[in-house]
Chain A
């Protein structure tokens, strides 16, 4: 135990420094990359409107919007938690961001959790019956579904269930301007959530299934699984307590990375279903070259990747004790 602690202090310090440097690099990238986008806010805003700008006006506007605050200024603002104003909406970016965030969390969080659970359980069960018709059929089917991009699943679901059958609303996160009781509001939100959620689950869970099944196939051949069976343990305990527990690691990695890309990940699906999440905000901001908004979202999502990787380190140690002792 003592040697364990002794080893971990410098290694933890190293970890903090590494992650700090990575965060700094990401802040710089979030500052510089959106500026490299071709086109600018003034052109996109006024080229499509009826307002005709004189040359001086245009020059003045352009000078205002392309003003270079400098990276130092950007950093200082960042530490003051002052994210600035959106060019297009003229509202503080934080307002814009935090009004969209819950919708994204709801959609992607649910999609990830559901697809992880379904993928894991189906993967474990399929791997437990190697070469059976069920397993072969599932692997084939999942590989095909995995190949369909979410943009086509989304459109198909939209056309079939929203436009043709009209079982589900085609757009939005809730019915606008409706005065609803809490219960009815939940139902309404769920109703709106169904199609984008289904699209995302269909996009995510075949990957989870295939990953789980593959790592399970490795694990079920391990001697300790045979030993567990020999101990006369019930099938569920052998399958999940012994085998699947060891097949969990790759899936956790995948889950973590999915969470990290949550902020931007649903861009396509949110756009198709006009869902009021961060993806839609980002999509609109890019269209009008609303640089401060792009910067904010890029920054938040990249920092989230970092934080989740850091979190995964902790989770790994809990799942697999061998990692804690690895050099």
Chain B
């Protein structure tokens, strides 16, 4: 028994408005498997479930097919539907206890389908219902209770017992764990897994990503009625391909992710559509749906193009004009014109030498749109140099840089200003990065003047005050006229931030932006930085020596050692189980675990050897002689002959 939904479109007609709830949704749920539907509220998850049950309200117009075991069920009449409902498709609706009738005892409600569908006597039905409730951990004494006498978790278990009472082949669970405590949640998780083992097909609707990882095989992400991405559930946190998926993962308080919660910028809107329908003999249910034009309530939203464009971190011109279809990438399918999360910056084989000192060895680095990449490492490891190369401030001696799909050096050559508006830089040591002859206004307005972006003095003033207000600084004239030395460090750092953001860049390079600040000011500035990153959809390259800080703000971490990247990957993976001994050392030092007296900074014993060999307790001759390559391992890259997970030969 499998459920197959094909090209499902649902439009709610509300007076003259029509709201597009679902557009071309195709899903398959196989027996013994669980498909999860995830998305923000209002994305149409529950509409899918209601469509399967034939419970769409009368103002819903629907197109497409819903098949249960290759038999269409979307055009059945009410009496045929009643034979399928609960008998073949069981469902737990959202809002828990509100789904239990307050004036009937729970055992009556659980037994009711048995009486209706199986024509059992009241006694037999009660006996079976009692058994089902006991299986769900509700003891005899609870059976004659009324819903208001149950706790949220007990009510949820009663609902589960009710949904499975007729042993349906397909079970739809709509938010089964929202509002449940952790233990009740794990009970529900167990029940779902047991049902799967018995060969039930399960359609799980939730925004609980952790639950999805634990019970589902496949997950589909819905946004405003469109499927944005489908993927194997285990990849949610490690390999999102769509910016929406990445942002959802970042918004979920998972136990193993470390970054502070970030939302998705902006708000979703209702998709009002123009419907040119003509009623056929079967009524408006089959009326023809044309041109799914989306438009915002206030008329701001896009008439064409991708639905996510205004909230995305990698919107380009084509996103606003072209229609996007789902395409398969590996075992994912993604609805993105840029084929998933794009690379904002690609460094290939860049290197830099200062006289005799090699600052950066030929190395590759990719920064993705919308992510916060944290570069950590000991002093002198080349962090700042790499950051400045990435920002286009320093020219590398060799290698290529590609920014937003264009060669950076060529771009600089042709028209540096247009690149410079895309990249904002916050330099190390804020007090020295501003001229002491400039007032606050001048500091922020300088970039606008250089790029000639403001026509009039008033416009410039507006943009400067807006930039200052964005970083929570005062905008009154007295403050604008102050000089940097009159300000405290926190304020100077914010002025630098305002200066970096005033041109509206897409890429922000921040080199130790908070190292000169005390913890309370640092906390404020970082919080501000992260809020702005979300709100403006920035991609951030964040250099810090503070691995604790990187843990709080980074999506990905890169660890630098002697001009090389020795480990990169998702922040939570690297920090919870580093593969490189050097990373382990950095983490341990922050945690106060001592490993004897390590000298900061070192040179390789042999020019070709691993730079960490002299300090590494596991170093072998191999390490001293050959420098390990940066290799892909378990969603991360690590340059070590003997990564910490593998068995050491010695």
Kindly state whether residue A320 has any CB partner on chain B within 8 Å. Answer: yes
Are B99 and A227 in contact, CB atoms less than 8 angstroms apart?
yes
Kindly state whether residue A224 has any CB partner on chain B within 8 Å. Answer: yes
Are B102 and A230 in contact, CB atoms less than 8 angstroms apart?
no
Pick from B82, B95, B100, B146: contact of A234, CB under 8 Å:
B82
Are A233 and B103 in contact, CB atoms less than 8 angstroms apart?
no
Given contacts A232-B86, A232-B116, contact A246 B103 (CB under 8 A): yes
Q: How far is the CA of A235 from the CA of B94 in the complex (A)?
A: 22
Kindly state whether residue B471 has any CB partner on chain A within 8 Å. Answer: no
> Which residue on A lies nearest to B165, using beta carbons?
A231
Pick from A231, A235, A325: contact of B112, CB under 8 Å:
A231
Q: How far is the CA of A321 from the CA of B103 in the complex (A)?
A: 6
Pick from B91, B98, B103: contact of A230, CB under 8 Å:
B91
Pick from A222, A232, A235, A319: contact of B98, CB under 8 Å:
A222
Kindly state whether residue B117 has any CB partner on chain A within 8 Å. Answer: yes
Residues of chain B contacted by A229 (CB below 8 angstroms): 55, 85
- From 2 to 56 in chain A, residues with beta carbon under 8 angstroms from any chain B beta carbon are none
Q: How far is the CA of A237 from the CA of B86 in the complex (A)?
A: 15
> Which residue on A lies nearest to B52, using beta carbons?
A230
Given contacts A232-B113, A242-B101, A321-B148, contact A227 B93 (CB under 8 A): yes
Against A, the Cβ 8 Å flags (1 = close, 0 = not) of B63-97 are 00000000000000010011111110001011100
Kindly state whether residue A77 has any CB partner on chain B within 8 Å. Answer: no
Are B116 and A237 in contact, CB atoms less than 8 angstroms apart?
yes
Kindly state whether residue B41 has any CB partner on chain A within 8 Å. Answer: no
Kindly state whether residue B170 has any CB partner on chain A within 8 Å. Answer: no
Are A319 and B148 in contact, CB atoms less than 8 angstroms apart?
no
Residues of chain B contacted by A237 (CB below 8 angstroms): 112, 116
Are B116 and A322 in contact, CB atoms less than 8 angstroms apart?
no
Given contacts A231-B85, A231-B116, contact A245 B146 (CB under 8 A): no
Q: How far is the CA of A232 from the CA of B91 in the complex (A)?
A: 11
Pick from A235, A245, A321: contact of B78, CB under 8 Å:
A235
Are B93 and A233 in contact, CB atoms less than 8 angstroms apart?
no
A45 CB to nearest B CB, Å: 57
Kindly state whether residue A166 has any CB partner on chain B within 8 Å. Answer: no
> Which residue on B lies nearest to A228, using beta carbons?
B101
Residues of chain B contacted by A232 (CB below 8 angstroms): 81-87, 113, 116-117
Residues of chain B contacted by A72 (CB below 8 angstroms): none
Kindly state whether residue A69 has any CB partner on chain B within 8 Å. Answer: no
Are A320 and B103 in contact, CB atoms less than 8 angstroms apart?
yes
Residues of chain B contacted by A319 (CB below 8 angstroms): 103
Are B100 and A224 in contact, CB atoms less than 8 angstroms apart?
yes
> Which residue on A lies nearest to B96, using beta carbons?
A223
Are A245 and B103 in contact, CB atoms less than 8 angstroms apart?
yes
Kindly state whether residue B151 has any CB partner on chain A within 8 Å. Answer: no
Are A233 and B101 in contact, CB atoms less than 8 angstroms apart?
no
Residues of chain A contacted by B148 (CB below 8 angstroms): 321-322, 325
A195 CB to nearest B CB, Å: 39
> Which residue on A lies nearest to B149, using beta carbons?
A325
Residues of chain A contacted by B83 (CB below 8 angstroms): 232
Are B86 and A231 in contact, CB atoms less than 8 angstroms apart?
yes
Kindly state whether residue A226 has any CB partner on chain B within 8 Å. Answer: yes
Residues of chain B contacted by A231 (CB below 8 angstroms): 85-86, 112-113, 116, 162
Are B93 and A226 in contact, CB atoms less than 8 angstroms apart?
yes
Residues of chain A contacted by B100 (CB below 8 angstroms): 224, 227
Are A230 and B116 in contact, CB atoms less than 8 angstroms apart?
no
Are A320 and B95 in contact, CB atoms less than 8 angstroms apart?
no
Against B, the Cβ 8 Å flags (1 = close, 0 = not) of A308-325 are 000000000001111001
Are A233 and B102 in contact, CB atoms less than 8 angstroms apart?
no
Pick from A224, A226, A325: contact of B55, CB under 8 Å:
A226
Q: How far is the CA of A222 from the CA of B100 in the complex (A)?
A: 10
Are B101 and A230 in contact, CB atoms less than 8 angstroms apart?
no
Are A230 and B146 in contact, CB atoms less than 8 angstroms apart?
no
Kindly state whether residue B336 has any CB partner on chain A within 8 Å. Answer: no
Against B, the Cβ 8 Å flags (1 = close, 0 = not) of A219-253 are 00011101111111111010000100110000000
Main secondary structure of the interface of A (DSSP, over half): helix
Given contacts A224-B99, A224-B100, A226-B93, contact A233 B116 (CB under 8 A): yes
Residues of chain A contacted by B38 (CB below 8 angstroms): none
Residues of chain B contacted by A245 (CB below 8 angstroms): 101, 103-104
Residues of chain A contacted by B53 (CB below 8 angstroms): 230
Residues of chain A contacted by B87 (CB below 8 angstroms): 232
Q: How far is the CA of A320 from the CA of B146 in the complex (A)?
A: 10
A217 CB to nearest B CB, Å: 14
A319 CB to nearest B CB, Å: 7
Are A224 and B98 in contact, CB atoms less than 8 angstroms apart?
yes
Q: How far is the CA of A325 from the CA of B103 in the complex (A)?
A: 13
Residues of chain B contacted by A325 (CB below 8 angstroms): 148-149
> Which residue on B lies nearest to A233, using beta carbons?
B116
A262 CB to nearest B CB, Å: 28
Residues of chain A contacted by B81 (CB below 8 angstroms): 232
Are A234 and B99 in contact, CB atoms less than 8 angstroms apart?
no
Residues of chain A contacted by B149 (CB below 8 angstroms): 325
Q: How far is the CA of A183 from the CA of B82 in the complex (A)?
A: 48
Against A, the Cβ 8 Å flags (1 = close, 0 = not) of B125-151 are 000000000000000000000101100
Q: How far is the CA of A231 from the CA of B112 in the complex (A)?
A: 8
B584 CB to nearest A CB, Å: 52
A279 CB to nearest B CB, Å: 37
Are B116 and A234 in contact, CB atoms less than 8 angstroms apart?
yes
Q: How far is the CA of A223 from the CA of B100 in the complex (A)?
A: 8
Are A223 and B85 in contact, CB atoms less than 8 angstroms apart?
no
Given contacts A230-B91, A232-B116, contact A321 B85 (CB under 8 A): no
Q: How far is the CA of A320 from the CA of B105 in the complex (A)?
A: 11
Given contacts A224-B102, A246-B101, A321-B148, contact A230 B55 (CB under 8 A): yes
Given contacts A242-B101, A319-B103, contact A230 B85 (CB under 8 A): yes
Given contacts A224-B98, A242-B101, contact A233 B55 (CB under 8 A): no
Residues of chain B contacted by A321 (CB below 8 angstroms): 102-103, 146, 148
Q: How far is the CA of A229 from the CA of B89 in the complex (A)?
A: 12
Q: How far is the CA of A13 from the CA of B98 in the complex (A)?
A: 34
B283 CB to nearest A CB, Å: 14
> Which residue on A lies nearest to B108, using beta carbons?
A241
Q: How far is the CA of A223 from the CA of B87 in the complex (A)?
A: 20
Residues of chain B contacted by A242 (CB below 8 angstroms): 101, 104
Q: How far is the CA of A230 from the CA of B54 in the complex (A)?
A: 8
Residues of chain B contacted by A246 (CB below 8 angstroms): 101-103
Against B, the Cβ 8 Å flags (1 = close, 0 = not) of A193-232 are 0000000000000000000000000000011101111111
Q: How far is the CA of A232 from the CA of B112 in the complex (A)?
A: 10
> Which residue on A lies nearest to B82, using beta carbons?
A232
Q: How far is the CA of A234 from the CA of B104 in the complex (A)?
A: 17
4 extra A-B contacts, CB within 8 A, seeds A232-B87, A325-B148: A223-B93, A228-B101, A230-B55, A232-B86
Closest 8 CB pairs of A and B: A232-B85, A232-B82, A227-B99, A321-B146, A223-B98, A232-B86, A224-B101, A223-B99
- Give 23 A-B contacts (CB < 8 Å), ordered by A residue: A223-B93, A223-B95, A223-B99, A224-B100, A226-B55, A227-B91, A229-B85, A230-B53, A230-B55, A230-B91, A231-B86, A231-B112, A231-B113, A233-B82, A234-B82, A235-B78, A237-B112, A242-B101, A246-B103, A320-B102, A321-B102, A321-B146, A322-B102
